Amino acid sequence: MTDEFECDRLDRRRRAITDAARALFIEQGFERTTLGQIVERAGGSLATIYKLFGNKEGLLDAVVFEKAASGENLIREITQCGASPADTLRRLATVLYERFLDPDDVALVRIVIARSIDDADFARRFFESTAMHTRRALEHTFARWEAQGVQLRGSPDMLAEVFLGLMVSDMQTDAISHGVVARPSAERIAARIEFFLRGAGLI
């Protein structure tokens, strides 16, 4: 009973610390955020942060890899609804754009880009746990449709790459430009998706 209570207490403390760290990293950037500020917002102590995360970089890992999950589960959920491939991809585009262009996610991508300059392993782990999982799930979806007799103009891997690239390019542009380049309108996004669907032979 005591062990369960201690684990539960540590889980709540971990959550409070990662929530505070995420908010501060987004508000003022990773470099300008101190562990003292995180403790002040989350409560607890520096000793707890060192025990749970090791250091500030370990805390960044926890924040980034917890929040920046891949779209794999979303893709599986939406593609199981039984809609046509074209309608499925329209729905997927809407949901993925909402996720990829969420201001908090874009702010985390900025931090990832900056961190990747000095830490290639961090960049590789981020890419593999997000973009690669999402792209594989899309590729499997196109391959399944092809096996069911849907005539595709392009291989499943190429179609997955191009479709996902529509969203990722906008997310990266937003992250790097800090809003200098306007985000695409809903009408522009819809037009791009229709262009993709025609090119893929799905309409």
Return d(Cα 107, Cα 101) in angstroms, integer.
10
pLDDT digits (tens, 9 = 90+) for 186-203: 899 999 999 999 999 999
- How confident is residue 171, by pLDDT bands cut at 50, 70 and 90? confident
Per-chain mean pLDDT for the chain: 89
- Give the model's confidence band at 100: pLDDT under 50 very low, under 70 low, under 90 confident, else very high: confident
User: What is the reported pLDDT for 9?
Assistant: 80
Give the model confidence (pLDDT) of 120-155 as tens digits.
998 888 888 888 888 999 999 999 999 999 999 999
Q: How confident is the model at residue 67 (pLDDT cuts 50, 70, 90)?
A: low
Complete domains list, the chain, with CATH: 2-65 (1.10.10.60), 69-200 (1.10.357.10)
